[in-house]
Amino acid sequence: MNAGGVRAVARMRARNDGRGGTCLPELEGDGPLALRRTRGSGAEARVMLVGAMSGPLGGDHFAVHTEVEDGARLRVGSAAATIALPGQAKGEARYDVRITVADGGELHWLPEQLISARDSDLHVSTRVELGASARLVLREEQVLGRAGEEPGRLVSRLTVRIAGRCVLDQELACGPGAPGGWDGPAVLAGHRAVGQLVVVRPEFADLPPVARVLGDGAAAVPLSGPAVLVTAVASDALRLRRLLDEALVILG
């Protein structure tokens, strides 16, 4: 580690193995980002992201790059929640996720929650590039503060492009220094857990999902492509996960 914090990159690439399964020709992480292949199911390969150290702390910069090739199926999870902490180094911490899924590829991106601890300052950026016939289930969950604790500053931006066309580009800023009103009735309304679920399926092009309320605190909105966005707010992480799991079941 240096005065500017820790720099760490994890990379994974999934490829059709030609025998009805998925191989991982690239699977490597350094520093606090460790990748472990776990037992898959059918044609799907599974990878677990394991945090080998605390963080991200102030000044750290983590990055995860994922590529899914044509015909490959990959499911990515994490072993535990990620906790943004203040640390000793000055400055904002960054966590960048870059995802590419080719035509015919499929990715389920299902990490555990990101918790914004008091006095932390984290900027998260997730950018997804999909082929026209790619499939995606992506879940993001943010929890503002640990039990009985005020949150740190958290800025989260999510961008999704399908066949080169942007279908989603949204940013949420919470905590100290965020624009006024983030905790008001038009945004989080006092809730301390917020999540997004993006589902992309080629069949949505012919039969797009309809906009609807999904339980108390969740809503689904079709995007300008074969995709739907579910947004949910809840009082805690358990309730948030329940809302997003129920939404995925409803979407089928």
Instruction: Report the DSSP pairing between strands 227-234 and 193-200.
Output: antiparallel
- Mean pLDDT (the chain) is 91
For residue 220, is pLDDT > 80?
A: yes
Specify whether the CB–CB gap between 146 and 117 falls below 8 A: yes
d(CA 246, CA 252): 10
Q: What does the alpha-carbon distance between residue 27 and residue 132 come to, in Å, rounded to a whole number? A: 25
Number of domains within the chain:
1
Q: What is the pLDDT of residue 186?
A: 65
Confidence of residue 1 (pLDDT cuts 50, 70, 90): very low
pLDDT score of 101 more than 90 = yes
Q: Token match 């394991």: residue?
A: 50
Kind of pairing, strands 93-101 and 121-130? Answer: parallel
Residue 164 is assigned to a structural domain of this protein = yes
* 227 in any annotated domain: yes
* Sequence-ordered list of residues with C-beta below 8 angstroms from that of 31, at least 6 positions apart, any chain: 6, 7, 8, 52, 53
Residue 165 is predicted with a pLDDT of 96
Q: Range with the lowest mean pLDDT among 24-33, 98-107, 131-140?
A: 24-33
| 2 occurs within a structural domain | no
How big is the CA angle at 72 (ends 162 and 204), to the nearest 5 degrees?
40
Is residue 3 predicted with pLDDT exceeding 70?
no
For residues 128-146, one letter each, b for 16 or more C-beta atoms within 10 angstroms of the residue's C-beta and e for the rest, the string is bbbbebbbbbbbbbbbbbe
What is the reported pLDDT for 32? 87
Encoded amino acid at 51, one letter? G
Tell me, what DSSP letter sits at residue 5? B
1: in domain: no
- Assess if residue 231 is contained within a domain: yes
Rounded average pLDDT over 200-215: 91
Q: Which residue has the tokens 């940013």?
A: 171
Would 46 be classed as within a structural domain?
Answer: yes
Contact between 172 and 179 under an 8 Å Cβ cutoff? The reply is: no
Distance CA 238, CA 215 (A): 15
Two tokens, residue 6:
């820790």
| Domain region containing 235 | 7-251
**Nearest CA to 46 among 14, 18, 16?**
14
Instruction: Give residue-wise pLDDT tens across range 7-20.
Output: 999 999 999 999 99
Could you report the per-residue pLDDT of 33-77, keeping only the tens digit for each? 999 999 888 899 999 998 756 678 888 999 999 999 999 999 999
Q: Does 75 map to a domain?
A: yes
**Has residue 2 got a pLDDT over 60?**
no
In this structure, what token pair is assigned to residue 123? 């900027």
Q: What is the pLDDT of residue 89?
A: 67
pLDDT digits (tens, 9 = 90+) for 145-188: 888 788 899 999 999 999 999 999 999 998 887 777 677 776 77
Q: Is residue 59 part of a domain?
A: yes
Structure confidence at residue 54 (pLDDT) = 66
Neighbouring CB atoms inside 10 A of 66's CB total 23
Q: Which token pair is 78? A: 């994490």
